[in-house]
Chain A
Amino acid sequence: MNKILSPAVFYRQSTRVLPFLAAGLIIFLGYGLVGGLFFAPIDYQQKEAVRLMYIHVPCAVLSLSIYTIIGVMSAIYLIWSVKIADIIAQASAPLGASLTALALISGSLWGKPMWGTWWVWDARLTSELILLFLYCGYIGLRSAITDARIAASAAAILAIVGLIDIPIIHYSVEWWQTLHQGASIFKFAKPSIAPAMLYPLVSMLLGFYFLYALILCLNARAELLWRERNASWVTKLILGSGVNG
């Protein structure tokens, strides 16, 4: 098991995989953007504003997926001391944070034509905002602690606690607001999904996942090379004789 997860192997495998990731990214994102932004039908109620869905939904889904991945990787790191897991968690965080911010911004832009306000403190948006705080806390903690080992363990525990926290926050806020406000509930009214809208949406979602995978690989490889800079395979790589053939 340790052989498969060794840094050198990860590096070699990711080199092979990169072109496919880039291709997938271009294909899916391309189809999704063109199909969604230009060809998909507009919603009779929201008109062109519905096109923000093609950005907002993938961003929101990814923001949560990435945090879940960070949480799972953190648990793997803490339990089995797998270095790669820690590197993946570290490399995923900046993109996760950016996508969360983008989800909030696109959600706000989508909300203005819908409800007339830029922001509303409903359960979903509030949870997304808290997710952004959790990401920032994670990134901040990692960068503030100088010792790599302590930073990895502390960030891992923070990520796991945060992951447990997110559903609790979401459901408690949602429960309390439905109870408290009664009839006046704000919701993202999902437009009825016609195939012409569904396919670009799913494509955008896949495209974003490829984007994540690509950026993850690039970041992880860079972080890996830095951490293993004293190892012999890195020296060989830099001197041009390839990664263990």
Chain B
Amino acid sequence: MLEVIGLACSRNDVVLFSNLSFQVAAGVAVQLRAANGSGKTTLLKTIAGLLPAAVGKIAVHGSLIFLGHNANLHPTLSARENLAFLSTLTPSNSKITNQQLDQALAFCNLTQQRNTPCAELSAGQRQRVNLARLYLSAAKLWLLDEPFANLDQTAQKLVLQLCAKHLSNTGALLVASHHEVIMPEAQLLDLEKYA
């Protein structure tokens, strides 16, 4: 699903990591463990194709979805409206119906908040709207940057549930997290080894 060979990335002339090679096959989850500022966001963005790879090769087979730090949610639009817009931007099996949007929000325990402007939602609730995007997505490769941020125990379990379902559907997963929450069966990749 994803192959990285000999990748080096720098930011503002500081080399973040070099000679990084790894693979993520279908049905496999890889957790990137690294401290803040060590380049995990840069790595994810480079894999997604948003940043150019100066040295090395990246091969992605299949569609991908990238969920960054930013919740991408416009403060004036409601959770549902934001979800509807963002879902059109990522691969999905068919045109998303209103019913599916409501289903996704229900899964993330946001049914009551679906018409609330995102400015009024808490950080945890906003992060859960992001999760709803994952629920609706048909992308094969998930690139997640700090998906557990701002989430309580229940919500973290939701993330793990979503990921498990994705993996069993032959999806692949690359998660960057400095959190202690380690996903079961995830391979660990320590970015600092390549600094």
Contacts and interface: CB of A to CB of B under 8 A. Distances in A.
Interface of A: 146-148, 230
5 contacts: A146-B12, A147-B12, A148-B12, A148-B13, A230-B13
A148 B13 CA distance: 9
B42 to A, nearest CB: 13
Contacts, number: 5
B46 to A, nearest CB: 14
Contacts of A148: 12-13
Contacts of B12: 146-148
A143 to B, nearest CB: 16
Interface residues of B, number: 2
Interface of B is mostly: loop
A187 to B, nearest CB: 51
A147 B10 CA distance: 12
A230 B13 CA distance: 8
Top-5 shortest CB links A-B: A147-B12, A230-B13, A148-B12, A148-B13, A146-B12
Interface in B1-44: 12-13
B51 to A, nearest CB: 10
B25 to A, nearest CB: 33
A147 B13 CA distance: 10
A152 to B, nearest CB: 13
A146 B13 CA distance: 12
Nearest to B14: A230
A147 B51 CA distance: 13
Contacts of B13: 148, 230
Nearest to A147: B12
A147 B12 CA distance: 7
Nearest to A226: B13
Nearest to A228: B13
